[in-house]
Structure 1
């Protein structure tokens, strides 16, 4: 009941904010609608008055919101302010396209995840699991690939050069291949890493050793271990599925796909309030359904696990790391800092049209962009706006997630609602109140970055609290504070911290996407996401301009996963 109430409350708050968007923005909604209907029509007082009377804007925001809510109860989403057509068919059409694309992307993501963790599954089932078997670095690199950059590269390589697949529009299954790859590969990298991180703890349990000693086949042990490890991260699968639907705005824009995310973005830009409300309502309903399904699947996989102390998920065993593995974070950090430091001593804003799109040379080590500006300089100066802000947002999201994870009923409902909103939509709402800029973009990304971490934390809290040794601790008189600080919190903080580190490149990309849409860092700021977007138009002629910030994000991802990997393991025999 509390979960349902949290979902309803979150849904009501979001819809109310969207309904009040024209008044929160401080802009004249009638003028925005007039410009959307006809850019050439003169904005006379008579024309604006006519639009206000037609849309009922003079009645005030609360009356307008009330009329929309009343229509919603009758199954009527209203009529578009721009086209005058019914909203419901447009929403259903966009949602159908996005669901099909989500399904294809999820298949790609699952295949990538299986490929990444298959080595750990096999070695763990045979009892030969070693630290070297972790695909964490590869997974993090895949998870950090900018979706819109991957989409652009796939479009040029497979669509334009080879002519194998459609490059735009929505003509059938063939149109899904390239967008599904662009979205599914990064999602698969994240899911594969999460599954791989959970498996060592399962293989270290007594039942696994007993089954191996009893001659049980490796395949049966592997299946049982997967069923044992997956429930803790099932909520992540649901959140990823919704993210693939509502968060695909950039990919839909690259391939001109008429999905629900692109529909919501277009409606927001045109101040088409009924269409925006309908699109966001569809995304929120999808999020709630995905949350319920994830909860049911998790309960089915666990069975009586939450009532059986023997099935409480343990901490992963700490495995040894060699000198080479311990040196990886230092090497990656040194390379990243060297590039940033070299760029900081150069001028990022100097324009030299005669040198535009120059290839890398001694004078311009990473080449120049479309205006002849030095890419290395812009990369170095953009580190603070990209990495610094992303680190701050990541830390805030982590603290919120750990705190709210101890209230699983509340966090589950709110997380479903928050995750159903793509950063673009949240960025629009925040920018309406705070104005565009880095601060508004940071708040927007922070608001939607904590749900996956909170879902992970809530699952770990629930399973750790059911452990038999905690029952024994309480029986011998251990205080709740002792149990919390010495057992529950350590079991939650570590895995969620590693999860947060893995999401650091994604947070940086979310900030970049808002900058691309004019809601975050503004040109000519040398922000890494803006560098990617500015180079998108000429990626075929000057790939170095796009590859430089992409490789910087990959280095950031590699550093994040290396730190999470080395901090999660210790010499053999020292168990958590």
Structure 2
């Protein structure tokens, strides 16, 4: 009942904000609609009055919203303010296109995730559970979708004879599915591999092995145990693929729901945007409910009987696992030091010059030194991204501890594409770096909160936690002293994997004029400049891309090193060290 009420209230609040948007922006909605209908028509007072009379704008936002809700009850979602056509058929058609694209991208993501999980699963069932450095997953997650899309257009059209743009059916989904599925698979694969490694440290795995149960059967049980922790993340990624593929849909000119929402938000076509939001909310709620049902089925009776197994969080690590974050950090530092003394704004006639001794990363379309721009943009890009991600972690941890109360905001925030949210925020407060950061924060905390909620439920169902109230421990003490310490490390690792995504979301908003604007050396703007000339001058996009990957690898690998006790493996046949006794969670709690 609480979860249902949360969803209803959140949906109502979102629809109210959308309904008030034309008036919250401080712009005359009649002028925006007139421009959308005919860019060449002179905005005379008579023309604006005609628009207001035609749409009933003089009645005010409350009356318009109530009229729209009354129509929805009768199955009438209204007519477009720009075209005069019914909005529901167009929104449903766009949803169908996005659903087809999401299904294709999900296949790609599943294959990528399987490849990333296989090594962790193999190591776990053979008695040597470990967490990898996450290099492959971090590289995939750090690669921007719009860059993959731009490269796909060039490669697909020139070498593979695939449709470069437009939508004629499933064959048009191959290139967009790759652009969407590779980063999504990297994220899901890393989270699932993390959960698999943790599940393999639970005592029942050792018991099954000693009892002679086959490795194949043990692997299946481990996957089922691990999948319970990431079902909510799979649902959130699916919704993000459905409504958040704005950049990919723009590059490939796909008439999907994300691209439609962006166009409706820009033109302030209120009925069309409300229809888009309602459909996306319905899909988000359906996916959220399905994920909850699947998760309960995977956990079985253990979630109710307080019998969820306790991981020992002991992993085998090799010395080379330390090398990865060190090399990544040194790589970023070397780029910053090498380019800090150069001028990132100085233009020259050497446009798109190849990398050379004078310009190690080449020059861009204005002849500016790419190395200088990447070096000077590092502080702002990384600093803002870390600040946004830190705030998202705090909000996610706090709200994730009360999942039933905040299930509505979690699902709604995840369903909103960052670009569309940026348009809404910028229309109210104006374009700025702070507005872009706020827009990304509004959609970044939801996956972390959902992950927190799933982990908190599992930790509460562990035997040593269930017995604490009978020992006199208060709810607050159990939460702060036992539950959160077991949850925070995993959530932080998840957040660090999303660091490049946050940076890219900020960059996308800056590229659209909703955040940092040219000639700022922000990494996203440098990357966006390179995307436009990826065939002619790939080095322009390669420099910020490599920097983002290095930052991502450093963050993910460093978080893995801090994931708990480890046995250091010195090599083949070598001895392991650091395997002393570790207090059990129950002992630590008491």
Aligned residue in 2 for 1:471: 466
Structure 1 residue matching 2:315: 3-state secondary structure: coil
**Counterparts of 1:88-237 in structure 2 under 5 Å?**
88-131=88-131, 134=132, 136-159=134-157, 161-237=158-234
Structure 1: how far apart are the matches of 2:549 and 2:201?
Answer: 32
Deviation at 1:145, TM superposition (A): 0.8
Match of 2:573 in 1: none
Mapped to 2, the partners of 1:516 and 1:235 lie a distance apart of 31
User: Would the aligned equivalents of 2:340 and 2:376 in 1 still touch at CA under 8 Å?
Assistant: yes
Deviation string 1:224-259 (CA, Å, 9 cap, x unpaired) is 111111111100000000000111000000100000
Q: TM-score, normalised by structure 1?
A: 0.96
Deviates more, 1:85-94 or 1:116-125: 116-125
2:377 corresponds to: 382
The answer to whether the Cα contact below 8 Å between 1:441 and 1:514 also exists between their aligned partners in 2 is yes
Contact 2:117 2:190 in 1 (8 A): yes
- Quick check: 1:307 aligned with 2:304? yes
CA contact (8 A) 2:143 2:183 kept: yes
State the TM-score, normalizing by the size of structure 2: 0.94
The residue matched to 2:230 in structure 1 has which SS? Answer: helix
Q: CA deviation at 1:471?
A: 2.9
CA displacement at 1:481 relative to structure 2: 4.0
Structure 2 partner of 1:78: 78
Partner residue, 2:265: 268
| 2:56 aligned residue | 56
Deviation at 1:126?
2.7
Query: Which residue does 1:539 correspond to in 2?
Result: 534
With 431-440 and 252-261 compared, the bigger mean Cα shift is at 431-440
After superposition, what is the alpha-carbon deviation per residue over 1:397-437, rounded to whole angstroms, capped at 9, x for unaligned? 00011111110102322211111111112112211221111
Aligned-pair distance for 1:509? 0.9
- 2:455 equivalent among 448, 451, 460: 460
Report if aligned partners of 1:117, 1:135 keep a CA contact under 8 Å in 2. Answer: no
CA contact (8 A) 2:133 2:557 kept: no
Aligned residue pairs total 571
**Which of 479-488 and 217-226 deviates more?**
479-488
CA deviation after TM superposition for structure 1 residue 52, in Å: 1.1
> Which whole-Å CA distance do the structure 1 matches of 2:507 and 2:464 have between them?
46
Q: Which residue of 2 aligns with 1:450?
A: 445
Q: Distance in 2 between matches of 1:544 and 1:405?
A: 42
Matched, 1:296 2:288: no
Q: State the secondary structure of the residue aligned to 1:321.
A: strand
1:528 deviation in Å?
Answer: 1.2
Q: Which residue of structure 1 lines up, in the alignment, with residue 341 of structure 2?
A: 345
Match for residue 355 of structure 1 among 331, 347, 350:
350
CA–CA separation in structure 1 for the residues paired with 2:263 and 2:35: 13
Of 428, 452, 457, the match for 1:433: 428
Q: Which runs of 5+ in 1 are unaligned?
A: none
CA contact (8 A) 1:457 1:496 kept: yes
Matched, 1:422 2:417: yes
Q: Say which SS state the counterpart of residue 448 (structure 2) adopts.
A: helix
Gaps of 5+ in 2: 568-578, 586-590
Partner Cα distance (2:408, 2:311) in 1: 26
Check the 8 A contact 1:419/1:451 in 2, yes or no. yes
User: What's the RMSD between the two structures over aligned residues?
Assistant: 1.5
- Secondary structure of the structure 1 residue equivalent to 2:229: helix
Larger mean Cα displacement after TM superposition, 452-461 or 319-328: 319-328
Distance 1:135 1:339 in 2: 22
- CA displacement at 1:343 relative to structure 2: 2.3
Q: Report the counterpart of residue 511 of structure 2 in structure 1.
A: 516
In structure 2, distance between residues paired with 1:197 and 1:387? 25
Separation (CA, whole Å) in 2 of partners of 1:135 and 1:553 = 16
Counterpart of 1:13? Answer: 13
| Contact 2:150–2:251 under 8 Å retained in 1 | yes
Aligned-residue offset at 1:497: 0.8
Whether the 8 Å contact between 2:11 and 2:408 is mirrored in structure 1 is: no
Change (3 A) 1:374 1:121: same
Distance in 1 (alpha carbons) for counterparts of 2:526 and 2:273: 29
Deviates more, 1:297-306 or 1:464-473: 464-473
> For the residues of structure 2 that align with 1:295 and 1:243, how far apart are their CA atoms?
17
- Secondary structure in 2 aligned to 1:495? helix
Question: How has the CA–CA distance of structure 1 residues 563 and 76 changed in structure 2, closer, same or farther, with 3 Å as cutoff?
Answer: same
Q: Structure 1 residue aligned with 2:331, among 331, 335, 344? A: 335
Aligned mates of 1:130, 1:294 — CA distance in 2 = 27
**Deviation digits for residues 322-352 of structure 1, max 9, x if unmatched?**
4432232222112102212322221111111
Instruction: Report what 1:238 is aligned to.
Output: 235
CA distance in 1, matches of 2:532, 2:133: 34
Counterpart-to-counterpart distance in 2, 1:32 and 1:163: 42
Shift of 1:540: 0.5
CA contact (8 A) 2:306 2:460 kept: no
The 8 Å contact of residues 130 and 317 in structure 2, kept in 1 or not, is answered as no
SS state at 1:410 partner: helix
Structure 1 residue 369, shift from structure 2 partner: 0.7
Q: How far does the alpha carbon of each residue in 1:432-486 deviate from its partner, in whole angstroms, 9 at most, with x for none? A: 2211111001011111101110111111111111111123333233343442333
Please say which of residues 499-508 and 134-143 is displaced more in the overlay: 134-143
> SS of 2:228's equivalent?
helix
